[in-house]
Structure 1
Amino acid sequence: MSKEPIARKTRNKLEVLLLFRRASYPARRVEVLDISETGFLIDSAVDFSIGERVWLQLPGLQSLSAKVVRVDGFKVGCAFDHPLHEAVLRAKLDELAG
């Protein structure tokens, strides 16, 4: 039984500071470089581990839980536990573009 590869969602360039939290740490602002329905990429000088639990706060939404799936130097890729609906993401991107 073969599995089809999961299609990657379009990444939207963002480059905005948003609240972000790691387990057992207070929330702080990080630069979010891009975001899609399934995840986001941040720029951080802090060390992260693959599988680490994190939360991202988009304005007007509750914190979105995610897991670190990639670490490449200062860039940290995270996958949301529950994908965002396309319309919700679009509305938040429009709001952030202001």
Structure 2
Amino acid sequence: MKFDPIIPSDEAADRATPRAGVTIICDVRQGSRPWASARLEDISPGGFRIARLVGARQDVPLRIQIPGIQMLSADIRWIRDGAVGCAFAEPLHVAVFEHIVRSAR
């Protein structure tokens, strides 16, 4: 399976894990805030990028519900122009990652 590289910054150039450009509408919740819909645009086994997450805070973990996948925990690693880059608390198994990418296409 071939993946499209999405590299949002210079520090991403060192990544050895596959990344895939996707468009998935998912539900995200940070802390005790209500669930909100968000557009996931980039995913790897180790993390993901959400196009826009209003009021995101790096010091508060978030939960993400990708359709067809159990709820996952993640930490925000960076925020730029409303977009957020997150790292999964536990990396995705490669089969789960490939399933998400296939389902999104």
Q: Which runs of 5+ in 2 are unaligned?
A: 1-13
Q: Which residue of 1 aligns with 2:47?
A: 39
So what's the TM-score if we normalise by structure 1?
0.82
Return the alpha-carbon distance in structure 1 between the equivalents of residues 86 and 53 of structure 2.
Answer: 15
Return the alpha-carbon distance in structure 2 between the equivalents of residues 90 and 63 of structure 1.
Answer: 17
So what's the TM-score if we normalise by structure 2?
0.78
* Letter of the structure 1 residue corresponding to residue 51 of structure 2: D
Q: Which residue of 2 aligns with 1:72?
A: 80
Q: Which residue of 2 aligns with 1:59?
A: 67
Q: Which residue of 1 aligns with 2:23?
A: 15
Normalized per residue, the structure richer in strand is 1
CA contact (8 A) 2:28 2:35 kept: yes
Structure 1 pair 56–45 and aligned structure 2 pair: CA distance change class (3 A):
closer
CA contact (8 A) 2:53 2:84 kept: no
Percent sequence identity is 30
Return the alpha-carbon distance in structure 1 between the equivalents of residues 88 and 25 of structure 2.
Answer: 18
- CA-atom RMSD in angstroms: 1.7
Aligned residues: 92
Larger Rg: 1
Q: CA offsets, 1:45-71, max 9 Å, x none?
A: 513222321011122222100001101
Structure 1 pair 45–36 and aligned structure 2 pair: CA distance change class (3 A):
closer
